[in-house]
Amino acid sequence: MRRELFILAHRLYDVSFYRLYLDLSANLKKTYEELKEEQDARLSRMIRFAYENVPYYKKLFAGLRLTPEEIRGIEDLNKLPILTKEAIKRDYGAFKPLSLSRMKFYHRATGGSTGAPLKYRASKEHRTRAGVLLYRGWGYGGYELGDKIFFFAGESLGSGSKYGRLTKIHELARNSRFFSVLDMEEESLERYLAVLNKEKPGFIRGYASAINELARWIINRGERVHSLRAVFTTAEKLFPEMRRNIEKAFGSKVFDGYGLDDGGVTAYQCGYENNYHIDTENAVLEVVDEKSLQPVREGRGKVVATSLYNWAMPFIRYDTGDLAEASAKPCPCGRPHPVLTEVIGRYRDILITPEGTRIHGGLFTHIFSGFPQVKEFRVIQKRIDRVEIQVVLENPKDRIRLEVIEKLIKERSPNWKIEFVFKDGIEKTARSKHRFIVNAMN
C-alpha cells in the first residue's frame, strides 16, 4: 500500500518515473562495458544537441576546429576545455538552447565558492533521473520505494521552513517526515528523538553535520533510540568522527551520497570500504588532475561533470568545484558502476594558508575531537592570514587550553593569525547549512 501510494505520487510528477526506476535498477546487473556503451551513445547525442542548439558550444567547436563527430565517447571529452562557473556567468545568454520554449525545465541556483550564486536551468528529464538514481542509491543501504524515511533537511533538500498542508501531503505520500536542521535546539532534539522512537522509521537522511549533532546529543545524554536500518548522509563532507558518532548513536551503518544538481553527477556508497559507485546514467563524472587538467583513472583530482539529459542548459565538462579520489579497482560488492574511494571535499571546505598550501576543514574536526568540552565550532577565514574560530562550549564554565589548539593549527600554517571567539551558539542560515568551515575571502 505504502509502495503504491509512493509510486503514484511520483507518477503524478512524471509518468515515466516507475518504468525508469525498474530500468535503472536492472542496470545493476549489467557489466561496466554495457553501461559505458550506453553512456557513450548518450554523450554523442548530447554533444550533437549542444553543437546544433546552443550558441556557446557552436562557437566553442568552431574555435577548436572540432566537429561533434569527433567526440564519440568519454575518452574524447578532453578534446574540450573545462567549463568554469565564471565562464557560464560571463556568457550566460549563449547557453540558451534555440528550442528552449518547447522544453520542460526548472530554474535553479547553486552557490559558488565565492560571490553570487550561479543561476541555471534543469530539464525535467534530468531531474527525474536524478530522483530515480537517488532511490536506487539508497537501495544500496536496503531502502525500497515507500519505506519510511525521515529527513534532516534545510531548504535545499526540499523541506522548506514553512510547514503547510502541502508539506503534510508530500510527507504522507512519500512516507516521510521532515525535520529542520535550522532548528537544533535542545527542545527540538528531544522532540525529534520522541518522534523517531514512536514512528520507528527504517532510515534517516540529511546533512552529515546535523545528524552528527543529534547523534552526539543522544550519546551524551545516554538516550535510548530505536535502531535504524541505515543512515544516509549528503551534501557535506562526512568525516570519520561523524560516521563513528552516528553509527554508535543509531546502531546502523552510514551510507554517504554525493550529488550535484548542476552537472547531474551522483555517486552513492555501497557499504564496502568507503566506495561510492558513480552513476553513469545521467552524467559523465571525470576526475581530472588539478594541474595538468588531464583525466586520472586512479587518484585525486577535480570533479568535472557532463550532463547527459539537461537539454535546457547543457553542462559539458563543468568544473563542479569538488575534489574526489578515483579508483580503477572494481568494488568487491560486484556492482558494475565505477568507484570513487573518497569525496575529499568541496572547495568551500578548503582554506588557503599564507604559505600557499591548502588545508581541508577535516583538520579542525580532527583537532577539536580531542576537546570534548567543545560543543560546536566554526572556522571563518577572513583574510589569507586571518582565521577566526568561533567556539561554543558544552558548559560555559569549562576550561579549554586554546594555546594547544593554536599550536596544532600553527604546525600546519605558522603565519596564520588565529582569533578565538566564544559564543553561546552558532547561528545557522539556510544558505550556510551547518557549515563549520567558511571561506569568507572574496
Binding site for Zn ion (CB under 5 A): 270, 272, 275, 331, 333, 335
* Residue placing its CB nearer to Zn ion in the complex, 333 or 402: 333
CA-CA distances (angstroms) from residue 12 to 104, 131, 143, 159, 369? 15, 14, 22, 19, 47
* Cβ nearer to Zn ion, comparing 97 with 338: 338
The least distance separating Zn ion from the CB of residue 271, rounded to whole angstroms, comes to 7
Among residues 203, 271, 274, the alpha carbon closest in space to that of 240 is found at 274
Beta bridge partners of 389: 379, 420
Q: Quick one: 42 or 337, whose CB is closer to Zn ion?
A: 337
- Closer CB to Zn ion, 271 or 295, in the complex: 271
Handedness of CA 330, 331, 336, 342 (dihedral sign): negative
Shortest reach from residue 131's CB to Zn ion, in Å: 22
Cell of 388: 577566526
* Residues near 366 by beta carbon (within 8 Å), at least 6 away in sequence: 239, 241
The answer to whether 332 and 272 have CB atoms below 8 angstroms apart is yes
Shortest distance in whole angstroms from residue 141 CB to Zn ion:
12
From CA 316, how far away is CA 121, in angstroms rounded? Answer: 14
Nearer to Zn ion, 87 or 333 (CB): 333
- Least distance (Å) between residue 134 CB and Zn ion: 17
Shortest Å distance, C-beta 272 to Zn ion: 4
Q: Which is nearer to Zn ion, 341 or 413 (CB)?
A: 341
Query: Considering the complex, what minimum distance in angstroms separates the CB of residue 337 from Zn ion?
Result: 8
Q: Shortest CA distance to 432 belongs to which of 348, 374, 351, 330? A: 348
Residue 257, Cβ density class (10 Å: 0-12 exposed, 13-18 middle, ≥19 buried) = buried
In the complex, minimum distance from the CB of residue 360 to Zn ion, in angstroms, rounded to a whole number: 25
Q: Of the candidates 260, 309, 316, 262, which has an alpha carbon nearest to the alpha carbon of residue 125?
A: 309
User: Quick one: 55 or 271, whose CB is closer to Zn ion?
Assistant: 271
In whole angstroms, the minimum distance from the beta carbon of 61 to Zn ion comes to: 37
Which residue's CB is nearer to Zn ion, number 252 or number 310?
252
Buried b (16+ CB within 10 A) or exposed e, 131-164: bbbbbbbbbbbebebbbbbbbbbbbbbebbeeee
What is the H or E stretch that residue 340 is in? strand 339-346
Q: At what angle do helices 240-250 and 208-221 cross, to 10 degrees?
A: 50
Cβ-based nearer residue to Zn ion, 112 or 330: 330
Neighbouring residues of 49: CB distance < 8 A, sequence distance ≥ 6: 97, 311, 314
Q: How far is the CB of 236 from Zn ion (least distance, A)?
A: 22
